[in-house]
């Protein structure tokens, strides 16, 4: 088990943080949200190497560095050509000699793993096929703000067992949440992810389960969470996925099954009318824009933990 205090301090998976390190990171995020500007990253440079489009991730990393006195540099796919113009191991070694950390958004987890293996500076997973750990940090920070605790809370994720669900499973189990994934047959999270989450849940007192009925997951839940049915790179599967996920929407009717004070979460962008009703995402129980803002604060805390001695 690695933590942010390890000699090579990468953050490529929620499994890279044990419970004490994760809870400490969330506490630091809350402190930095209250006092956002400082010089904790003065003189530091973060390279943003993105193979996929980004709004929240790119903006939040850029602003996080700037607010703490550092600088972010965006490198587009055309400029880098990761795996095409140059292999990941070469790019990693070149960039490591010029910056203090790298946030990498890529398709293949293998490419992320190779890049991290050859980089001599911290590498952050800014989204890959397997996980979206930075999103999970913001999600947990939002739950902490709204609910004041993790123990005893039930999170119901409705939809595709994708990278967001994978990170939520591991991260939620680490802090003691009861995480239920409701997914159609064939779309559940991988067995390897479930195994990690189950082990973390045993350690924290949380729970993990996978069901096939959204109603079962939502019953009495404190948090309802969903994501798009078709992620970036899966556009050719859109029609098949719409059919497979019919009935897996967060609607007002489904929300009524949850706890009266349940919150609704979505990592955005949302396909309104598909995985979530417009009235729900715009409703009083929605915290999706708090989540979006908290990307900034959670990632700032992560960068400070990786790059600062403070």
The answer to whether residues 250 and 181 belong to one domain is yes
The verdict on 84 and 104 lying in the same domain is: yes
Count of structural domains within the chain: 2
Q: What is the C-alpha separation between 175 and 29, in angstroms, rounded?
A: 16
Q: What is the pLDDT of residue 235?
A: 76
117 with 75, same domain? yes
**What is the share, in percent, of the chain residues with pLDDT greater than 70?**
96
The yes-or-no verdict on residue 236 having pLDDT over 90 is no
pLDDT at 230 over 90: no
Euclidean distance between CA atoms 162 and 150, whole angstroms: 22
From 129, 163, 188, the end of a domain falls on 129
Whether 253 maps to a domain, the answer reads yes
Contact 276, 286 (CB under 8 A): no
Q: For the chain, what is the radius of gyration of the CA atoms? A: 19
Give the helix ranges, DSSP H, for 84-158: 88-96, 109-118, 133-147
CATH number where 229 lies: 3.40.50.1370
CA–CA dist 129, 113 (Å, integer): 12
Decide: helix, strand or coil at residue 85: coil
Q: Identify the pLDDT of residue 189.
A: 97
Instruction: Give the pLDDT confidence of 24-74 residue by residue, as tens digits.
Output: 999 999 999 999 999 999 999 999 999 988 999 999 999 999 999 999 999
pLDDT of residue 104: 97
How confident is the model at residue 78, as a pLDDT?
A: 80
User: Strand, coil or helix: what is 291?
Assistant: helix
Whether residue 224 is found in the same domain as residue 269: yes
At residue 73, φ and ψ (nearest 5 deg) are -120, 125
Is the domain of 125 the same as that of 139? no
Do 183 and 100 fall into the same domain? no
Helix or strand (DSSP H, E) at 207: strand 207-211
Q: How confident is the model at residue 7 (pLDDT cuts 50, 70, 90)?
A: low
The answer to whether position 14 is within a domain reads no
- Same-domain check for residues 157 and 202: yes
The per-residue pLDDT of the chain, averaged, comes to: 94
Are 115 and 221 members of one domain?
no
Gap between the Cα atoms of 63 and 273, Å rounded: 32
Parent domain of 164: 135-291
Structure tokens belonging to residue 43: 């003189």
The per-residue pLDDT for range 87-123, each reduced to its tens digit, is 999 999 999 999 999 999 999 999 999 999 999 999 9
pLDDT at 272 over 80: yes
In a domain, 310, yes or no: no
Q: 159 with 68, same domain?
A: no
Span 222-251, average pLDDT:
90
């Amino acid at each position: 088990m690695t933590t942010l205090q390890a000699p090579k301090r990468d953050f490529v998976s929620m499994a890279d943080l044990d419970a004490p390190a994760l809870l400490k990171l969330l506490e630091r995020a809350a402190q930095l949200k209250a006092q956002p500007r400082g010089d904790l990253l003065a003189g530091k440079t973060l390279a943003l190497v993105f193979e996929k489009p980004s709004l929240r991730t790119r903006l939040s990393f850029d602003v996080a560095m700037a607010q703490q006195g550092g600088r972010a540099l965006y490198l587009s796919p055309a400029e880098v050509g990761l795996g095409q113009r140059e292999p990941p191991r070469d790019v990693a070694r070149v960039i490591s000699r010029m910056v203090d950390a790298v946030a990498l958004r890529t398709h293949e987890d293998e490419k992320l793993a190779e890049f991290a293996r050859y980089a001599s500076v911290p590498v952050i997973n800014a989204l890959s096929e397997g996980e979206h750990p930075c999103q999970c940090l913001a999600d947990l920070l939002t739950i902490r703000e709204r609910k004041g605790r993790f123990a005893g809370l039930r999170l119901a994720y409705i939809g595709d067992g994708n990278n967001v669900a994978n990170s939520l499973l591991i991260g939620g189990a680490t802090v003691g949440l009861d995480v239920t994934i409701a997914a159609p047959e064939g779309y559940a999270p991988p067995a390897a992810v479930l195994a990690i989450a189950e082990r973390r849940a045993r350690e924290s007192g949380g729970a993990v389960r996978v069901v096939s009925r959204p109603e079962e997951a939502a019953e009495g839940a404190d948090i309802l969470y969903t994501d798009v049915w078709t992620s970036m790179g899966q556009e050719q599967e859109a029609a098949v996925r719409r059919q497979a996920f019919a009935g897996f929407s967060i609607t007002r009717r489904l929300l009524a099954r949850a706890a009266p004070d349940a919150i609704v979460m979505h990592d955005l962008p949302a396909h309104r009318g598909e995985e979530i009703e417009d009235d729900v995402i715009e409703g009083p129980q929605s915290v999706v824009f708090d989540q979006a803002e908290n990307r900034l604060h959670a990632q700032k805390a992560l960068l400070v933990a990786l790059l600062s001695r403070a």
